[in-house]
Amino acid sequence: MWYIAAMKKLLLCVVMGLAFCMPAAVHAQTVREQQILALQAQIKQLQLLLTDMVLQQDTSAGSYIAVDLTTGAIISAKNSTGQFPIASITKLMNAVVATENNDLVNAIALTSDMLKPQGYSPSLFLGAVVAGRDLLRASLVQSTNDAAEALAHTAGPEIFIGKMNQKAKDLGMVDTHFEDAHGLSLQNRSTAGDLAKLMAYIYQNHPEILATTKDTDFWLPDPTGRLLKFKNLNVFYQSPGFIGGKTGYLTEARQSIASVFNVGGKPVAIIVLYSKYRQADMANILEFVTKAR
């Protein structure tokens, strides 16, 4: 058929890029259109580059990274290999190890050693018997340090922390170290790049952990039997597109967050470390990521 031959000729023209295969006027118009499209793409890329440079300068965080979890592409980053104390972001790795080692199945009787860390909750008291899953929720929702410590005691703190460090190695988090199970130690250190790997792993393998970080309806009884609500300290849990994550704060570590957001239908890990103004930094990064989609 004549149109098959014409299509073959057109395909050959596209592949070989031979100008003489098309009428001059049509070819010139096509070239102009292609040039315009190419210029538009270059302009958009330059605008994003400029915006990214401004973002890095205006962001108070010592380090951040935004990673497309679908492709693994880095959307924006600042000092993403710089190592900082990560405070309560530690509890995300605690949750992974506790979940994967079946430490959530049984109830745990709380001892004085489990209740030593700062971060007290009146619903977690000496002698209380608490389900492992409820300890995990207390750790992730209200960032309760003694709940995280209690989970570590299921295997023994040293063994549990060893598993946290081993998991970091398994995930290629080469600049990450855990000294305790909850994040009070300044020796719990990582990088934005490493924590993006952790968030990718949790998103793919343990979405229930991310879902727990958004929980706003978690209650446990105090010593009198009165139910007390655990306040969600993840300040972003109401934010549009927030899939889950964990905030952290220590005076020496400043404000931090490891999170996953739905941006334009795609999961994006956003890590912010050593920030003076975490919420403002996150808002600026999210705005840039949305524009870059």
Give the active site residues: 88, 91, 143
What is the three-state SS of 204-261? HHCHHHHHHCCCCCCEEECCCCCEEECCCCCCCCCCCCEEEEEEEEECCCEEEEEEEE
Residue 109 is classified by DSSP as: E
As a whole number of angstroms, the distance between CA 170 and CA 174 comes to 9
What amino acid occupies position 70? T
Do the Cβ atoms of 203 and 92 come closer than 8 Å?
no
**Single-letter residue type at 57:** Q
Residue 44, number of CB atoms within 10 A of its CB: 12
Count of H-run helices and E-run strands, the chain = 9, 11
| Backbone φ, ψ for residue 70 (5° rounding) | -75, -40
